[in-house]
A and B are shown apart, each in its own frame.
Chain A
């Protein structure tokens, strides 16, 4: 195993951690806003680590560029969609969860 492969495998560990954390949060968090927060933050960081890991295994510069493009697109799309869903929820009067509420 070359040094790059080792580094790539090492980067996949935090990627996996953030994806698992995001998924657990999606299943366990109490309301839409906190779930959205978890999904768009944790998963994008996880994807970032995965993309970095794959970049180290890429065969040429074009592949590195494509991977970076994919990450950028997912980042932009997920934050926009998160905003749209959140705004629609506010418009419908969905109250954010607080510790006091039942």
Chain B
């Protein structure tokens, strides 16, 4: 009875929060509601017994995405203020704007409904009792080099997908860097003395935590994405407190770190192709070591990419 009550409340609050996050007039409050929504979604994943997803949702979906949207909000307000200072009377009236907003909302709503229909159709057209690939994947688990089935799928059985995902992350940061120069998050160091004294021991702890998540990913929930998110959080804290400045000016080092994941993954794929004849088909008995090396490189790239996206552009000395 109590678990059902908890799940029911969770579903209800998630739906209400999602609605509020989309419709709140106060954009700042909307962002906070979005972050809270992410945390509750992580709890929902936990209730569905998917702790890997819960970790990723809490760290990436709620924490880092929340920080990204917050920084976008700050930039938007700054631009609005600058625009308001330049022109006293706007060209487009508020009514025209509202109508345009309504139209785009209707289009978005229709698209979402269509998507929902397609997904519902796809879910309903599945055979009711399907064994899926679970049994097969679990049967081959001893060959995968790890004991956590999620990591086995991500880094061995479907390693190709993960390679492409890390490629997408690289493309994202390249795109952002090509578009504009990053803003420096303003921080007055004298006012942040307490923050600095916290960061002095929290940052090393976060780095150790990222490594721990990477290592534990072989046998328990964790892995490169969760560890990378932790690393990105550490980087973000460092940037906000002004500690990351000197690091960012070592451009070559940063660029190497950003591409490391794709490079190592790609080279590993090529070497494995020459060795065993299959792309990303690791040599028998050595899969665990291969996965660890690839994940370590991916961890660095994921952490740097997610953390540096916050700057909203390429870091440059002013």
Contacts and interface: CB of A to CB of B under 8 A. Distances in A.
14 contacts: A73-B202, A73-B205, A76-B198, A76-B202, A77-B198, A77-B202, A80-B194, A80-B195, A80-B198, A83-B194, A84-B192, A84-B194, A84-B195, A87-B191
Interface residues of B, number: 7
Nearest to A91: B191
Describe B's contact surface by its main secondary structure: helix
Given A73-B205, A76-B198, A80-B194, 10 more contacts: A73-B202, A76-B202, A77-B202, A80-B195, A80-B198, A83-B194, A84-B192, A84-B194, A84-B195, A87-B191
Contacts of B191: 87
Interface in B185-208: 191-192, 194-195, 198, 202, 205
Nearest to A76: B198
Interface in B161-195: 191-192, 194-195
A73 B205 CA distance: 10
Interface of A: 73, 76-77, 80, 83-84, 87
Contacts of A77: 198, 202
A83 B192 CA distance: 10
B195 to A, nearest CB: 6
A73 B230 CA distance: 14
Nearest to A66: B212
> Which of B191, B194, B195, B205 has the most chain A CB within a 10 Å cutoff?
B194
Describe A's contact surface by its main secondary structure: helix
A76 B197 CA distance: 10
Contacts of A83: 194
Contacts of A87: 191
A34 B192 CA distance: 22
B198 to A, nearest CB: 5
Interface in B290-313: none
Nearest to B198: A80
Those 4 A-B pairs whose CB atoms lie nearest each other, nearest first: A80-B198, A83-B194, A80-B194, A76-B198
Contacts of B205: 73
Contacts of B194: 80, 83-84
B231 to A, nearest CB: 16
A80 B198 CA distance: 7
A70 B191 CA distance: 26
A62 B262 CA distance: 35
